[in-house]
Structure 1
């Protein structure tokens, strides 16, 4: 699994760099986009990094104009994370490229194979993040 991840990551990393992002920052931006108002602590938990690293990632995303922190409407001590229009445009371009990379790799699998693979990966993911 690690070798496959490394191969896919290397193909995709060049595209992320064009947008000024490291792959971990792409994941964070995608997570923020899918969960507007997400807290910094929840983002750290979901991407599997400590809170101090998550803060650095968010700082970079803000510096690039791709995401922003806003005060939470329910708790002024907490920041709510949101993507900017520039961040959404960057995500659209990167997701299109990611689909192309995945399509090139997954074209050796039939529709049934893809369903089985997806189900297995979902089970593995769930087992990793059980509380």
Structure 2
């Protein structure tokens, strides 16, 4: 469908959530297509990225940040551990919880995925200047902080 043939958004166009979801759906589909050989399940990439950025993070903190149900987060952490991408250790601060760490293999895997994600988003973001991209990120962060 060409730009001239696109459906009118009507009242939906007034809602930022709808507009954000449309963009996210397209970006996610492009990333999914580019990574189909990596056998990623939903939440695996973002969970691994958070573990890498926050060594010692808890499963609950990952689940909350990614927006996953705790039981789904446990399954994802199990899979990361099974694939040798992350490991659990008993927390030295709170023995009731596990601290999560990325493995060397996990870091290599994550770097490959970030390269794919970077290529995927550059195609879209090159439509904006650096300052527009910075503004967009800042505005999205402000929206998230309110939520």
Identify whether the pair has TM-score above 0.5, normalized to the shorter chain: yes
In structure 2, runs of 5+ residues without a counterpart are 1-19
Q: How many correspondences in the alignment?
A: 128
Q: Does 1:67 align with 2:64?
A: no
Q: Shift in Å at residue 52 of structure 1?
A: 1.0
Q: Aligned runs of 1:62-101 on 2, under 5 Å?
A: 62-101=81-120
Q: Shift in Å at residue 17 of structure 1?
A: 3.5
Q: Does 1:39 align with 2:64?
A: no
CA distance in 2, matches of 1:101, 1:115: 18
Which residue of 114, 127, 130 maps to 2:146?
A: 127
Pairwise CA RMSD: 1.3
Partner of 2:6: none
Q: Does 1:18 align with 2:52?
A: no
Structure 1 runs, 4 residues or longer, greater than 2 Å off: 14-20
Q: Quick check: which has more Rg, 1 or 2?
A: 2
Is the Cα–Cα contact under 8 Å of residues 43 and 68 in structure 2 kept in the other structure? no
Q: TM-score, normalised by structure 1?
A: 0.91
Q: Shift in Å at residue 15 of structure 1?
A: 3.8
Q: Shift in Å at residue 49 of structure 1?
A: 1.6
CA distance in 1, matches of 2:136, 2:23: 13
Partner of 1:102: 121
Q: Shift in Å at residue 11 of structure 1?
A: 1.0
Q: TM-score, normalised by structure 2?
A: 0.81
Q: Shift in Å at residue 23 of structure 1?
A: 3.9
Q: Shift in Å at residue 118 of structure 1?
A: 1.4
